[in-house]
Amino acid sequence: MRTNRIRIPRWFDRHLHLRGEDLLETVLPCTLRQKPIGAVVMPNLLDPITSFEKAMAYRKKINALIPEDSDFSPCMTLYLTDETKPEDVVTGFKSGLWQAVKLYMADKNGQGGTTGSHQAVRDLHGRYKVFEVMEKHGIPLLGHFEAVEKEVDEFDREVVSMARDLQPLLRSFPGLNVVVEHVTDGRMAEFVAKVDHPIFATVTAHHLMINRNSMFWEGMNPLHYCKPVPKREVHRKKVREYVTSGNPRFGAGTDSAPHDEKFKTRCCGCAAGIFTAEIAVEMYTTAFDEDDGMEYFGAFLSENFLGIYGMKVSSELMTVERTPMQIPKKIGNIRVFNGGATLPWKLVT
């Protein structure tokens, strides 16, 4: 039977970029309009969140922009570096300052695959003392598992990192909660779904909708360029199959990544990232509806593995209706994913 209205618990964005300064003021209201109980805030600013002081200052900036009548909870994360001390990770977690540690990787020259990765981990094995205390204290590791070396094929970076980095990590720390961020490769999705380990994965709305052709259709399209890059259609279908068929190891994480239009649309040095915060719920709803998976929609958006972030499923409900909604082209100077197109669903309360 065709569903025209669905009510589910208010959701939780497990992967969100709020940036800093002017961008923060522009994009945070977009997320709040989507009715989440909170979001996992990524720490890879131009000056990454690598210390107590930076984390406290950033959280203060975010909280200052949240209306007093809002219960939105920004779940902070610590940016892991080669100098991060195990005891500092534990202290910040126990104090409630951050709820997880974010892993980005860089090559030996400090080159990485995303914003702020110049301070990322170059020696993963050298961080094993940190992972040891994280396993002991139940601190989640949120991993951007992509091989960053120049010689690795762009479309194989995720699966290369899976074999080289992720699998040895899981063998060494069988009790460590690991979230593989923004899965795009069907081989990684299959591994997450089947491995005997407390491992989970976030999936973006845009990776459910586009494949790598979208970056090149009718000429180079920087608005569909992100990290990880969209993969072949077979991988998009495989990831989407696990998501919309109700596998509980997968959950919503938008990876909504705002960039000023002048940096996003330039033909050389285009910024990697897709902004979806304004339309995330509607995009996810559309994907589940198209795949006849609406019975699993609420769990994916609002329930799956929330406990590892210290969150509980909301007792409040939100409503999404089958009502056409035109996507705004821009929010401030930020281009919105598929701006101008129409989605068949709309978040109404």
Q: Which are the catalytic amino acids?
A: 255
| Phi, psi angles (nearest 5°) of residue 70 | -95, 140
What are the C-alpha distances in Å from 173 to residues 31, 84, 119, 215, 255? 34, 18, 24, 37, 26
| Phi, psi angles (nearest 5°) of residue 243 | -70, -55
Give the contacts of 216 (CB within 8 A, at least 6 positions apart).
Answer: none
Q: How far apart are CA 45 and CA 79, in angstroms?
A: 10
* Of 104, 107, 126, 127, the residue nearest 117 (C-alpha): 104
Angle between helices 86-94 and 52-64 (to 10 degrees): 30
**Neighbouring C-alpha atoms within 13 Å toward the C-beta of 112:** 19
Tokens of 118: 């110049």
Contact status, residue 300 vs residue 249, Cβ threshold 8 Å: no
Greatest extent of the chain over all pairs of C-alpha atoms, in Å:
56
